[in-house]
A and B are shown apart, each in its own frame.
Chain A
Amino acid sequence: DAGVIQSPRHEVTEMGQEVTLRCKLISGHNSLFWYRQTMMRGLELLIYFNNNVPIDDSGMPEDRFSAKMPNASFSTLKIQPSEPRDSAVYFCASSRRGLNTGELFFGEGSRLTVL
């Protein structure tokens, strides 16, 4: 398996533009997590899904952020409109709930810069 795949790896955009980050889970995994990493705030959990259903979105900063899981293997995180303070590395991670392990498998991350 290729692991968790994220795209794009790097995104530079201007304030006010829409940004869509994509994530493909590891085959057989059924839990999906979106994290944001910054120097100031570390790794923050934005939202997570179990079996395509959003379980906890309390970490989503505000209404400008939305996440979807249209099928069992794919998720998107959308920011509209984007702001400079959204600049960060966004990680997607997956796990297989039900195994006797809580290991998260992270993607390579999407580095977002909003000018």
Chain B
Amino acid sequence: GENVEQHPSTLSVQEGDSAVIKCTYSDSASNYFPWYKQELGKRPQLIIDIRSNVGEKKDQRIAVTLNKTAKHFSLHITETQPEDSAVYFCAASKGGDYKLSFGAGTTVTVRA
């Protein structure tokens, strides 16, 4: 099955700086790559996703890039704010059945 690896496991950044989280996947048939944010004690929620027919997608301060050849994708958060502190999960699937394989998560801490 699909194996998703995520790095780093923890990330501490100064408020206003950028944060970058990287993921690799194993199954070249995967074509859907979402990112979920989970605040402490809360449920995971989708923040952005990308499909294999595009290389980059932006939504305000967050962006995701995809390199299909290298089988990796990244989340970029610019101008970080305290409310960005959370655990971020990348995931991959082949679409269709929407079975998502999640990475291990990155705990992001934004220092004021």
Contacts and interface: CB of A to CB of B under 8 A. Distances in A.
Contacts of B49: 101-103
Contacts of A31: 97-98
Interface stretch (A14-22, A43-51, A64-72): A43-51
Interface residues of A, number: 21
A36 to B, nearest CB: 11
A95 interface: yes
A42 B93 contact: no
B46 A103 contact: yes
A42 B97 contact: no
Dominant SS at the A interface?
strand
Nearest to A111: B41
Interface of B: 1, 32, 34, 36, 42-46, 49, 89, 93, 95, 97-105
10 contacts: A42-B102, A43-B44, A43-B105, A97-B98, A101-B49, A102-B34, A103-B34, A104-B36, A106-B44, A106-B45
Interface of A: 31, 33, 42-43, 45, 48, 50, 55-56, 58, 91, 95, 97, 101-104, 106-109
